[in-house]
Amino acid sequence: MNRNIDRRHFMALMGAGAAAPLLARHASAAAPLTMQAAWINDAEFTGYFTAIDNGYYKDEGLDLTYLSGGPDLIPESSIIAGKADLALTTPDTTIKAIVDQGAKFKIIGAQYQKNPHGIISLAKNPIHSPKELVGKTLAVPPVNVISVEVMLRANGIEPSQVNIVPYAYDPTPLIKGEIDASLDFTTNVPFTIKQQSAEAVSFLLYDFGYTIFNDAIVVTDDTLAAKRKELVAWLKASRKGWEENLRDPSVYPPKFADTWFKGTGRSIENEVYFNTAQKPLIESPKGILSLTEDSIAKTIDALSKAGIKARRDMFDTTLLEEV
């Protein structure tokens, strides 16, 4: 049975049918495809915005619908529920779901070759390595606690030696010294701290044993079988978008000021900083969005330290080969 129809019926009952912007663009002959992003519209997704606005997906015969994310939105849920065909996810979460819940997912690519998550502290109270975290207060989003604990153990530190408190996406407690460090995107928060006339230092979890990529491109087995052609086209257009965007990271964010980035509450300077900082984490000798054997092996290895048993067959690199 058709789940979307059901849901629309339900929303019509709720009087909300008219307000649903869902999948409204099926008119053209192009093949429809829906992607679920991991977060709100910011520089993390500039490559896709570039590809959409420059018509790269259309050139590949795709009619792409882009869904923004948010804290309560679990991207994997969107593809399980059939709201989206592919999702950008955190690989530890995705793989844990495959192992623990028997979810039928495949990882077909990766946006960040190196995970941008890092430990950020102030220059006047700097923390340069895991060892220096002992006895300090570290704010971590509860969903990422497991990653931090793995990184600490990999460096011979018991997690109980660090005072871990919840992080609510606002760096104010760090700037005011209520906490000593926080886990966040190193591509983003140091800009904010600089805006508040402070200096930030940071290190990546990746550089201290938590060697996973991030923003995994995830599909369900069913979608992989049914829409392989469209997925390859999506990878191709997305790579082109990212290449175009990263040629000069300061070019595209300002162009999206009144479209993709309108009303997000963030500044364009912030997005330019972000876009510039993420360039080395995204670029890969094998081409952007690549999934190299080396990165797969490192990810499997890092996750095994967290007790998550990843296997090679959870990854499918054959689509990238077709690009």
Positions in 78-117 near other proteins (CB under 8 A): 80-81, 83, 93-94, 96-97, 100-103
Amino acid at 152: L
Query: What are the φ/ψ torsions at residue 291 (nearest 5 degrees)?
Result: -125, 90
Residue 201 binds other proteins, judged by CB under 8 A: no
Q: Please, what sign has the CA dihedral across residues 101, 103, 108, 110? A: negative
Strands (E), 11-155: 31-36, 62-67, 86-89, 105-112, 117-122, 137-140
Report the site for other proteins in 158-187 (rule: CB under 8 A).
Answer: 164-166, 168-173, 175-178, 184
In terms of Cβ atoms closer than 10 Å to its own Cβ (0-12, 13-18, 19+), residue 39 is middle
Choosing from 33, 34, 35, 41, the residue that interacts with other proteins (CB under 8 A) is: 41
Residue 254 binds other proteins, judged by CB under 8 A: no
Report the site for other proteins in 266-305 (rule: CB under 8 A).
Answer: 266-267, 270
Q: Are 288 and 192 in contact (CB under 8 A)?
A: no
Choosing from 155, 264, 276, 292, the residue that interacts with other proteins (CB under 8 A) is: 264
Contact segment (CB under 8 A) with other proteins among 2-10, 207-215, 249-257, 293-301 equals 2-10
Residue 16 binds other proteins, judged by CB under 8 A: yes
Closer residue to other proteins in complex, CB, 142/254: 142
Beta-ladder partners of 256? none
Chain centroid to Cα 136, Å, comes to: 28
Q: How far is the CB of 293 from other proteins (least distance, A)?
A: 26
Report the site for other proteins in 50-79 (rule: CB under 8 A).
Answer: 67-74, 76-77
Choosing from 30, 33, 42, 119, the residue that interacts with other proteins (CB under 8 A) is: 42
Report the site for other proteins in 130-159 (rule: CB under 8 A).
Answer: 141-146
| DSSP count for the chain of H helices, then E strands | 14, 10
Q: How far is the CB of 261 from other proteins (least distance, A)?
A: 9
Q: How far is the CB of 194 from other proteins (least distance, A)?
A: 11
Is 72 in a helix, a strand, or coil?
coil
Element (H, E) at 14: none
Closer residue to other proteins in complex, CB, 124/156: 124
CA distance 275 to 250: 7
